[in-house]
Structures are given as structure tokens and as C-alpha cells.
């Protein structure tokens, strides 16, 4: 009997605390409130390969970590030339665990890189050209992209993400 009385009192308290419905004079639906902390992207990195609507995004190497960087094949990417660009990717649905992981794009945003003084090309174009020079289907991560003004060339350092962890360095002429 006491339990029933307690449940009745709790129900009354909760009912009393519920918000009363408000009337909305205009029939327009209200805009959802803006998110204060939008969700972070699933991956931020460089597009290292592209196959139709799929892009391979690999996070840059972290010198403080011994583990391989995050890598993800992203399907349903908007039509564009992606290789070399630095992007943020939000995914819809889950992420399929493998290496690289796989997911479907909800949103892909290109991160703008500042123009390097004295250079004719931008870093994404230099990376894209370096990747074209390096043939093979090995998974690569960016270690460094640096414009060398005195040589008028871009230095691109990459690392293979396999058991060899081979470092590859190439110079790309600035047009």
C-alpha cells in the first residue's frame, strides 16, 4: 500500500513539473535550435586516392604517435577532383571496421590551405602531382608538404602505411 502511495505522489510531482503546451499563433514550424557543439568530423586528412564516388582519406602522420594514422574509404563523395585536398568528413550510418575503415559520406568539407608566398601552385596540387609520380597501390600518409623557394620546388614526404613504414620523398616543380 505504501509503495502504491509513493508511486502516486511521484506521478503527481512529475506531472506537475511537465511543461504546459504553448500555443503558436503562426503555423510555421520553428527552426531547430543551432547546435552549440556540432559533432566533430569522423576523419580529417588528405585525399590520397579517388575511385569514382569513393575517396581515400588518410590523416597526416603524427610524430608523437607510433601507431598508423586513421585511414578511411568514403563512399558517396560529391563529384569533384579530390586527390591532394585536405578534407573533413562526417559520415552517415556506421563505420565498417577494417583498415582502412569504410563509411558513407554525409558531408565532405575541403579545408582551405593558405597560398604560399612565391609559389605558383598550392599545396593540394603539389601533393596530387607527387602522388601521380609515385606509382603503386600502397597506402600512404603525408608527413610533410613544404615549398622550397630557393629551388622553386615542393618537397613532399610520404610514409607507406605497411610493415615497411618506408619513407618516400619527392620534389615537385612549381609549374
Residue 38 lies in a domain: no
Per the structure, the count of domains in the chain is 1
11 falls within a domain: no
pLDDT digits (tens, 9 = 90+) for 103-120: 999 999 999 988 999 999
Residue 148, domain extent: 43-173
pTM of the entire predicted model? 0.75
Within a domain: residue 26?
A: no
Identify whether 27 is part of a domain: no
- Residue 59, judged by CB atoms within 10 A of its CB (0-12, 13-18, 19+), counts as middle
- pLDDT, one tens digit per residue, over 17-66 is 333 333 344 433 333 334 443 799 999 999 999 998 999 999 998 767 67
In a domain, 56, yes or no: yes
Whether residue 12 lies inside any domain: the answer is: no
Cα 64 to Cα 153: distance, rounded to the nearest angstrom: 28
Of 71, 69, 75, give the one whose Cα is nearest residue 103.
75
Amino acid at each position: 500500500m505504501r509503495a502504491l502511495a509513493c508511486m502516486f505522489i511521484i506521478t503527481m510531482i512529475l506531472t506537475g513539473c511537465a511543461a504546459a503546451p504553448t500555443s503558436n499563433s503562426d503555423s510555421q514550424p520553428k527552426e531547430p535550435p543551432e547546435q552549440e557543439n556540432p559533432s566533430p568530423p569522423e576523419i580529417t586528412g588528405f585525399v590520397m586516392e579517388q575511385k569514382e564516388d569513393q575517396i581515400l582519406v588518410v590523416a597526416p602522420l603524427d610524430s608523437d604517435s607510433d601507431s598508423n594514422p586513421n585511414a578511411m574509404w568514403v563512399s558517396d563523395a560529391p563529384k569533384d577532383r579530390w586527390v591532394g585536398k585536405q578534407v573533413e568528413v562526417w559520415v552517415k550510418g556506421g563505420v565498417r571496421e577494417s583498415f582502412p575503415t569504410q563509411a558513407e559520406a554525409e558531408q565532405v568539407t575541403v579545408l582551405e590551405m593558405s597560398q604560399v608566398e612565391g609559389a605558383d601552385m598550392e599545396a593540394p596540387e603539389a601533393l596530387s602531382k607527387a602522388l601521380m609520380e609515385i606509382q603503386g597501390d600502397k597506402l600512404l600518409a603525408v608527413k610533410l608538404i613544404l615549398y622550397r623557394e630557393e629551388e622553386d620546388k615542393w618537397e613532399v614526404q610520404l610514409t607507406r602505411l605497411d610493415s615497411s613504414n618506408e619513407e618516400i620523398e619527392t620534389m615537385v616543380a612549381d609549374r
